[in-house]
Amino acid sequence: MKQMCVGKPVIVGEITIVPLEGVNVYQHSTRDGFSVYVSREPVGFVIGSPQGKQAVDIYGEQVPLETYIQEVDGLQQVLDSL
């Protein structure tokens, strides 16, 4: 299962950087028990400044902000507070 979530925003002067993370949850069951493994990886960033907001992936390519808003739970609320 892969979900995307909002990381802790970082504020530098008038710029706010909101990290976006992919979260993978793996689980395996056997007759002896089960195991769970969780990993987090960077997916992209939303950068807010007085000039506006923009989204980029981890490679620095611009991504439509609406794409991340639809895919990442809670991102709209964070953006509304910027």
Res 71: pLDDT: 93
Q: Residue 1 pLDDT more than 70?
A: no
Q: Which tens digit of pLDDT belongs to each residue from 12-67?
A: 999 999 999 999 988 999 899 999 999 999 999 999 999 999 999 999 999 999 99
Q: Which residue segment(s) compose the domain that 19 sits in?
A: 2-80
- pTM of the complete model: 0.81
pLDDT at position 2 is 74
For residues 26 and 3, is the Cβ–Cβ distance under 8 A? no
How many residues belong to the chain? 82
Residue 82: half-sphere exposure toward Cβ, Cα within 13 Å:
25
Number of structural domains the chain divides into: 1
C-alpha dihedral, 58 to 5 to 64 to 70, nearest 10°: 160
Residue 35: C-alpha distances to residues 8, 20, 22, 28, 80 (Å): 28, 26, 20, 5, 38
**Distances, alpha carbon 10 to alpha carbons 28, 33, 46, 59, in Å:** 36, 40, 11, 19
pLDDT of residue 70: 95
